[in-house]
Every structure is written in C-alpha cells, then in structure tokens.
Amino acid sequence: MMLATNKEIKSKDDIIRVAKTYFSRWKIEEYFRCKKQMFQFENFRVRRLKAINALNFYITLCMAFLAMISMESETNALKVSIIKTADPVKEKVFFCYYRLAKGISGILSYAKEGIRLWFRTKRPAYRQLSLKLIA
C-alpha cells in the first residue's frame, strides 16, 4: 500500500499516525457510500426538507443497526446467517455494511406478507363444545 500525504514523516510513529488517520477516514467513506448505494439515498422523491430529514434519520437508524451487527463476534449466529444469506464471493472482505445489508435484504425478500407472519401468536386452547340433551 502506498499513501500520499503532505505531513512531514520523521519516524515510524508518524507513519502509523498517518495510516490510522487514513483508515478511520476510509470507514467514514464506506459509511456514506453504503448509505448512498444500498439505500439509494440520493435517489429520493421527496421535496420538503422535513421529509428529507426524516428519510435521512431512518436510513441512519438502519446504518446504526448494521454497525451494531458488524461489531458482533464472528461466531454470532445472527451475523453468520446474515452473511451466509448474502452469498459473498470472497470470505475475507471487510466491507461489512454492504454484506450485511445485502444479507438482510435477502432474508426479508421472502416475506411477502410482512414480518408479522414470522411470529407465532399464542392462541387460547379451545375446548370442545358439547350439547346437553334435556329430556
């Protein structure tokens, strides 16, 4: 890897600091790129600022959920099943947001009636009705 910088490099610590700054910036770029590509943030059809802010808020919540899942351990059952559903080409790629968003989208694509049908409702046990004959 080659990094171009205008900072003065005098020691190994300077190199490490520049690399850490670059990688932290890379995560921010990945966040915004995923927000624009996976959620099509630049392709919205609202005109009022209030609606744009609401859309940005909901997409930011989705991104926060993806970030929370990405911080889970590699043995977390939910994270493993989401990544498995995403069907990645390469196993060791660290663009987590894209992979997790694609996996969740793949899981939810099976829900034609919404997610309420995924949960079993508790129904009361019905008793058999019987008629008593009075003679």
Average pLDDT over residues 5-13: 88
**Mean pLDDT across the chain:** 81
Question: What percentage of the chain reaches a pLDDT higher than 70?
Answer: 79
pLDDT at 57 over 90: yes
Asked whether residue 51 carries a pLDDT value surpassing 90, the answer given is no
Residue 106 confidence (pLDDT): 82
3 pLDDT band, cuts 50/70/90, is confident
pTM: 0.59
18 exposure class (CB count in 10 Å sphere: 0-12, 13-18, 19+): middle
Domain positions in the chain: 12-108
Average pLDDT over residues 30-50: 84
Q: Is 20 helix (H, G, I), strand (E, B) or coil?
A: helix
CB burial string 28-49: b at 16+ within 10 A, e below: eeeeeebbeebbebeeeeeeee
Whether 7 shows a pLDDT value over 80: the answer reads: yes
